[in-house]
Amino acid sequence: MITFEELEALLESTDCLAEWIPEADWPVLELKCQGIRHEGSLALKEIIHPEDLATASLQLDRALESGLASFKRGPYRIRHPDKDYVSVMEQCLVRRQDSGKSRILSVFRIQESEAGLRADLLEAQDRLQLAMDATPDGLWDWNLKTDQVFFSAHWKNMLGYRDEEIGNDLEEWRSRVHPDDLELAMKDVQEHLEGRTAYYINEHRMRRKDGSYIWILDRGKASRESNGKPYRMIGFHTDITRHRELEDSLRAFGQELEERVSEKTIELRRQLQKFQLLFNSSNDAFIIHYLDDSEHIDSLIEVNDRACSMLAYDRSDLLLLRFSDLFPAESNPGLQQNVEALLEDGVALYRGFIQPSRGDSIPVDMSSHLFRLPDGWACFSSVRDIADRLKLEKENEEKEQLLIQQSRMASLGEMIGAIAHQWKQPLNAISMAAGMIPDSTSPEELKETEEIIIRQVDFLSRTINEFRDFFRPNQEKKPFRACESAEKLMRIMAPVLRREKIAVTIHSHEHFNFVGQENEFQQVLLNIISNARDAFAERDIQNRTVDIYPEKKGRTGVIRIRDNAGGIPETLLPQKLFEAYVTTKGDLGTGIGLSLSRRIVEDRMGGKLSARNVEGGAEFSIEVPLAKKES
């Protein structure tokens, strides 16, 4: 692409053209000169008069140091083959290479007569034409006096025309400029001709021969008379279609990128607002802190509003504390193990006490998650105040105990009657044996009578102890044998079961231990068997059976209680049956028995209570983890 400086220099050239390197002796690469002929290698310094060499060198150094693209040197003398020396002026163009080095294209003007200068001018014009043919840019030369325009072959080829297909009229250019671009192009031309701009520069579209348009970078400069009036304007067309397409693509890409960035920014702001809303609206306290390690102390990074209100701190004051200030070691002996679990697994759960700014420590459940920040390991902890929950759990436990006791007491009257009936036979036996004592005639008879009395008293004692154990409130959880517990309950219920003609069979006496309160487990069995007894009576079942199947399954003990009382309504299975106040007995049922039984098995013993219908009746399954030593 021809620069404006090159254009100006070429317009002024008249005599001799040389390309040389501004190094060492200024070696000449190419020389075209009418008067000067030189065979072989040539160094420019060798032909400059010794007295003028210092001045020429100084002028060159100043130009290169200033970074000029075009400069003049001279006048100075150079050696001529026909004469000793001739005086010349030198117009220089600096061509900087990609390697960083420079080459200089020089036009030398020999100071001679006016006729000689005209001839040399014609020679320079020829050289200018050659130079223009060597560039892909299209040259135009506008004679402002005749309004004729010379268009170079490249100019015409750029539009798809042969040289002879375009004339020398300005309308050749104007008629091909895109209508939307013509007004601004003409305005820029006019401003330059009026001297308001140093150069004419305009980008516009031009119509090719095939009807398509290309983008043109049009540049030019006017030559002026001494009074400033322009008489000639010369310039170049450069095809910048590819450049504009790239610009358009980049502009479209930039716009799309800007839109995407804008969308992402809006989305990020929206997400940040959601995060801040969730972060600060939670009922749990959120605490983000560094780990106490070689990189950091356990200083706080961020907290939410709930943390501030729970701990009665302003945010700024709270963020000055360390995590260990909030969880003092004396009230959290297990915290170090929690940190070790966090480092190993990345997550950890902990129940402990957090210390507010005033008042007693608060019991909390904490869920912690480990994550990495650019400057170290950090932890996100969700802390929940469980003081009210613990209080409620305690109250519910007391209520459950009361319900269990009430459920037992509901059976107390009937069981006392059953026990009184059960005691009649042993008491009669004791009475009869005591009456036989006076009539005994030998030690053997007395011994036999004594054994009868002792057996009956042991039976009465065992019965009253089992009865007492069943009704005694007990908070302690400990291992007990499930089958033996069921057998003891059956002995207590035996009179009632015989009266109701219910045959209860325990099909296995495999011993395994549950952990819990034995009388609560017996209460579950009692509730299930009592419901079967009521179903037998309601449906007038004649052959009444209850079968109990104890078995071990891996680390779980299973007790299945199956009856033939006709089954459970399907609408109550599998879960509704265990909801509070759900009953199949109408006004005769409270709807608490099975609900209470499920809470005992699942919440207090860590097991599972379920029910299903089987052929002829229902089956309840009690599944409880075995005691640790046994499992």
Q: Do 62 and 141 lie in a common domain? A: yes
Alpha carbon separation from 600 to 384, 403, 405, 610 (Å, rounded): 26, 11, 13, 13
Residue 520: pLDDT band (50, 70, 90) is confident
Strand (E) or helix (H) holding 482: helix 482-499
What is the DSSP secondary-structure string of 41-53?
A: --BHHHHB-HHHH
Do 5 and 70 meet the contact criterion of CB atoms below 8 Å apart? yes
Query: Within a domain: residue 260?
Result: no
Instruction: Using the predicted structure, report yes or no on whether residue 131 has a pLDDT greater than 60.
Output: no
- Amino acid sitting at position 258: E
Q: Do 380 and 431 lie in a common domain? A: no
For the stretch 1-42, pLDDT in tens is 444 454 444 444 446 778 889 988 888 887 776 544 455 577
More confident residue, 100 or 326: 326
493, two tokens: 């219920």
Q: Do 358 and 461 lie in a common domain? A: no
Last residue of a domain, one of 363, 385, 407: 385
Q: Is the peptide bond before 479 cis (omega within 30 degrees of 0)?
A: no
Alpha carbon separation from 40 to 29, 31, 369 (Å, rounded): 11, 11, 84
Most confident of 165-174, 414-423, 440-449: 165-174
**Closest listed residue to residue 347, CA positions, set 377, 322, 379:** 379
For the stretch 69-80, pLDDT in tens is 888 888 888 887
What is the Cβ-side half-sphere exposure of residue 207, based on CA atoms within 13 angstroms?
14
- Predicted local distance difference test score (pLDDT) of residue 631: 52
User: If you average pLDDT over residues 155-161, what whole number do you get?
Assistant: 94
Q: Do 597 and 567 lie in a common domain? A: yes
Query: Within a domain: residue 631?
Result: no
Instruction: Using the predicted structure, report yes or no on whether residue 628 has a pLDDT greater than 90.
Output: no
Instruction: Using the predicted structure, report yes or no on whether residue 166 has a pLDDT greater than 50.
Output: yes
Q: Do 33 and 165 lie in a common domain? A: yes
Q: What is d(CA 15, CA 118) in angstroms, rounded to the nearest whole number?
A: 10
What is the pLDDT of the chain when averaged over all its residues? Answer: 81
Q: How many CB atoms lie within 10 A of CB 198?
A: 9
- Predicted local distance difference test score (pLDDT) of residue 549: 94
Most confident of 411-420, 439-448, 532-541: 532-541
Q: Do 43 and 75 lie in a common domain? A: yes
- Predicted local distance difference test score (pLDDT) of residue 97: 77
More confident residue, 591 or 173: 173
**Closest listed residue to residue 300, CA positions, set 281, 317, 314, 319:** 319
Q: Which residues neighbour 142 within 8 Å (Cβ) at sequence distance 6 or greater?
A: 148, 149, 150, 170, 220, 232, 233, 234, 235
452, two tokens: 């009868």
Q: Do 177 and 315 lie in a common domain? A: no
Q: Do 349 and 413 lie in a common domain? A: no
Judged by DSSP in three states, 303 sits in strand
Q: What is the pTM of this model?
A: 0.39
- Predicted local distance difference test score (pLDDT) of residue 587: 53
Query: Within a domain: residue 10?
Result: yes
Q: What is d(CA 557, CA 221) in angstroms, rounded to the nearest whole number?
A: 104
Q: What is d(CA 46, CA 584) in angstroms, rounded to the nearest whole number?
A: 127
Alpha carbon separation from 324 to 85, 299, 338 (Å, rounded): 96, 9, 13
Instruction: Using the predicted structure, report yes or no on whether residue 458 has a pLDDT greater than 80.
Output: no
Query: Within a domain: residue 499?
Result: yes
Q: Do 54 and 163 lie in a common domain? A: yes
Instruction: Using the predicted structure, report yes or no on whether residue 612 has a pLDDT greater than 80.
Output: yes
Query: Within a domain: residue 373?
Result: yes
343, two tokens: 């480092």
Last residue of a domain, one of 359, 385, 411: 385
What is the DSSP secondary-structure string of 96-115?
A: E-TTS-EEEEEEEEE---HH
- Predicted local distance difference test score (pLDDT) of residue 2: 42
366, two tokens: 């904490």
Alpha carbon separation from 14 to 31, 39, 120, 486 (Å, rounded): 14, 22, 5, 128
Residue 200: pLDDT band (50, 70, 90) is very high
Q: Do 158 and 223 lie in a common domain? A: yes
Q: Do 583 and 475 lie in a common domain? A: yes
Q: How many domains does the structure of the chain reveal? A: 3
Q: What is d(CA 245, CA 242) in angstroms, rounded to the nearest whole number?
A: 5
Do 455 and 527 meet the contact criterion of CB atoms below 8 Å apart? no
Q: What is d(CA 384, CA 362) in angstroms, rounded to the nearest whole number?
A: 10
Could you tell me the CATH number of the domain that includes residue 471? 3.30.565.10
Last residue of a domain, one of 209, 241, 273: 241
Query: Within a domain: residue 520?
Result: yes
Domain extent at residue 355 = 283-385
Strand partners, 481: 513
Cα torsion through 108, 113, 119, 124, rounded to 10: 20
Q: β-strands 544-553, 502-506: how paired?
A: parallel
Strand (E) or helix (H) holding 562: strand 556-563
Instruction: Using the predicted structure, report yes or no on whether residue 445 has a pLDDT greater than 90.
Output: no
Least confident of 194-203, 286-295, 378-387, 598-607: 286-295
Side by side, the strands of the sheet bearing 230-239 are 148-151, 138-143, 230-239, 213-224, 200-207
Q: Do 230 and 304 lie in a common domain? A: no
Could you tell me the CATH number of the domain that includes residue 315? 3.30.450.20
561, two tokens: 């209680």
Query: Within a domain: residue 421?
Result: yes
Query: Within a domain: residue 494?
Result: yes
